[in-house]
Amino acid sequence: MFPLRTTIDLGAIAHNTRRLKEQAGEAKLMCVVKADAYNHGVEKCVPVMDRNGADAFGVATLAEARRVREVTQKPVLAWLWSIHEELPEGIDLGAPSVAHLQLLIDEPTHRTVYLMVDTGMHRSGIDEPEWEAAFKMAFEAEQAGKIEVAGLMTHLACADNPVDPYTDFQAENFRKAIEAARAAGLRVERNHMANSPATWTRKDLHFDMVRPGVSLYGLEPVAGIDHDLKPAMTWVGQVIAVKPMKQGEVTSYARTWEAPEDGYTAVIPAGYADGVHRSWQGALEIAINGQTYTQVGRVSMDQIVVWLGANEDNVQAGDEAIIFGAGGRSATDLAKAAGTINYEVVCAPEGRTLRTYVGEE
């Protein structure tokens, strides 16, 4: 077995779900579990969320929706799909354009639909000039028994910055869309726009449902704010070799680093094939036996090297090497050092990484 694993704490997933359910107040809680539950594992995480407060689940693709459908009886919504795909039964669908809406009206399956409106993200969503026609089309289809329009949905561009006025701009547009939909005859009783940051910082934008993602996995979506979340993922490798080095000797490709003095390095089998991005090199701090060591040289396909100095703590082959998570540097701290976001960090472990679970089953 390749000595590289992610350990997922299901107790942390349960705790975070309960915290978000409490924060949602009277709004329903849709747990976003796209990208295999942000790389934490749908089959294990969804049942835990289901038991701890989830009212519904949200994913991007139809393939993801099928997997989630197998492990929960609660509603599953998918919003990133092509008009050329085969649509599964038992899945609610977001309609990101008039063409998507028309396809849902024309297909024989009666299903629940959320109309996606563009309020300023300028990505997926029906544009404002098309709202009136789309809402009229949806109302007529609903009256004919072809679809059920559950509500409207949109996505926030800048909610992770609570002082950015663009969120207020989008919120006003969303309220206008709801008003226009109701003027067209639609009930739209389950409207949602709040992602993780807005769920925490903008209760006025909870509407009928909130749609958090990253907070479910214990990551803070707003820098500098603590909402009592518990990070669920720890990524751990294993030292496979400890090597002596003389001052001036180099390690790894392109001779980008040389030993500043006589000392030792440790080799850890984790590289870019496993999700350790080359852009992280120089930003990685690896924890071994309670001490933190700097990664040096190039990140290669299969390996990274850390500088142990004089190796006063006697690091040896077989010792655990924590890339991020419990006992080491947090995913958020790694993201900050590497110039990225914690979302990307927890989605990174792949390749030869084995996933294991602890805590609630």
Catalytic residue set: 34, 253
Q: Is 123 annotated as a binding residue?
A: yes
Residue type, 52: N
Beta bridge partners of 126: 117
Query: 155 exposed, middle or buried (CB, 10 Å; 0-12, 13-18, 19+)?
Result: buried
Q: How many CB atoms lie within 10 A of CB 335?
A: 21
Side-by-side strand order, sheet with 76-78: 147-153, 111-116, 92-95, 76-78, 56-59, 28-32, 209-210
> Using an 8 Å Cβ cutoff, are 323 and 5 in contact?
no
> Using an 8 Å Cβ cutoff, are 40 and 343 in contact?
no
Q: Is 301 annotated as a binding residue?
A: yes
5, two tokens: 């694993």
The closest alpha carbon to 137, from 108, 99, 90, 111, belongs to 99
Residues at the annotated binding site? 123, 301
Where is the binding site for substrate, in residues?
123, 301
